[in-house]
Structure 1
Amino acid sequence: MPDYLTKEQSAFLMYLTSLNTDANRGTLAVLRRGLAGNPIEDLNLYRFVAWHIPDSDRGTVRESAYYLVAALYALHPLSTDAENLGGHMKLAAQRRNDVEAAERRFTVLLNASMTDLAMPLRQAMTMLKQLVLPVNWTALFAGLLHWDNPDKVVQRAWANSFWAYDNRAENETTNQPVENK
């Protein structure tokens, strides 16, 4: 999965980061309200997002990613350069001690089409926000830009991060003293 962004796409994320100030609370509130439905359908977001979308992304499925990422960022702007959403959700599930519920939600998210992603992603961001877990916005944005890839490279990468083999449990078991009988 490409985890890089074009110059214009990176500039868009920098713009979102610049909004994370008290002076821009109103803008962030408008962007957050876009999560009440599908953000690309909320015309109030256009004045803050549309002018950042390069012509090459306009009118394509990638255009939705800009609106969705803007609304999600406004909900939870805490950022990291590590992992992808699968890794973030795995950590959230472990911290909540509720892996089964997290797996169900995450599976719904992975199976959603781009037009149906807003609700499961909003739920995921809300959980990450409650647990004060940061998001790799570059990886999330890149993933959304490639969400409809027929090979499902984004979904597979996130799933592999979520269900990745964790050898710590095995090491804890094998490092325990063995009782001799």
Structure 2
Amino acid sequence: MNEDKHPFVEFLEKHAEDRAMLAELRRGLGREPGEVPGMFPYVIPFVHNSYDEANIYLIASLFALHPSSTGKGNMGEHLYTLTQAVGDDDATTRRFVQLLRQSRDSLDVPLRQHISMLKSKDIAVNWNQLLRDLHYWEHPDHFVQKQWAAAYWKSGPNKSK
């Protein structure tokens, strides 16, 4: 994962303390791209094609919800860390499997729920990797989902049953 950081993620991380910006971006939670004009000054300069537009808007609103960044891991690893923190393997695992089953079009709400859970335990998110993963979510090989699963089950199956 030595790839360059996306300019939008760099922008968000640089302005992570800008409360006014974060408030505007949070207004985009649960909304379609373009529904919240207050997001435009922060998002539009980074939207270069319609394919990535929804991903940029989603990352903007999720980052504003939980502006804690790390340069390591993917959502599978972050959620594995969550299971270690809460000790609730079964419920978290069920939610994670449901997340992996989502199409890109239906991913926004469950992803927001998972980000909220990470925020509750102050677990940072690799926003750069998440943006990249959203871009490739619909790849026919499902390599993103496989990478998340490999990171989540790195210690083997849950032994809590």
Structure-to-structure mapping, 1:36-51, within 5 angstroms: 37-40=30-33, 42-44=35-37, 45-51=39-45
User: 2:26 maps to which residue?
Assistant: 32
User: 1:59 maps to which residue?
Assistant: 50
Corresponding residue pairs, total: 157
Query: What SS is found at the alignment partner of 2:42?
Result: helix
User: 1:20 maps to which residue?
Assistant: 16
- Aligned-partner residue type, residue 49 of structure 1: V
Deviation at 1:104, TM superposition (A): 1.4
2:13–2:69 CA contact under 8 A, matched in 1: no
TM-score by length of 2: 0.87
Cα distance change of structure 1 residues 46 and 162 upon mapping to structure 2, 3 Å threshold: same
Q: 1:148 aligns with which of 129, 138, 148?
A: 138
Deviation at 1:133, TM superposition (A): 0.8
Larger Rg: 1
Provide the C-alpha distance between the structure 2 equivalents of 1:107 and 1:27, rounded to a whole number of angstroms: 33
2:55–2:134 CA contact under 8 A, matched in 1: yes
Provide the C-alpha distance between the structure 1 equivalents of 2:87 and 2:21, rounded to a whole number of angstroms: 35
- 1 or 2, which has the higher helix percentage? 1
Query: What SS is found at the alignment partner of 2:50?
Result: coil
User: 1:133 maps to which residue?
Assistant: 123
Provide the C-alpha distance between the structure 1 equivalents of 2:146 and 2:88, rounded to a whole number of angstroms: 22
Deviation at 1:47, TM superposition (A): 3.2
Provide the C-alpha distance between the structure 1 equivalents of 2:95 and 2:33, rounded to a whole number of angstroms: 23
User: 2:60 maps to which residue?
Assistant: 70
User: 2:87 maps to which residue?
Assistant: 97
Q: 2:107 aligns with which of 104, 117, 126?
A: 117
1:38–1:118 CA contact under 8 A, matched in 2: no
1:4–1:138 CA contact under 8 A, matched in 2: no
- Aligned-partner residue type, residue 31 of structure 1: L
Deviation at 1:67, TM superposition (A): 0.7
TM-score by length of 1: 0.78
Q: Higher mean Cα deviation, 113-122 or 153-162?
A: 113-122
**Alignment gaps of 5+ in structure 2:** none
Q: Indicate the RMSD between aligned Cα atoms, in angstroms.
A: 2.1
Percent identity (aligned): 36
Query: What SS is found at the alignment partner of 2:130?
Result: helix
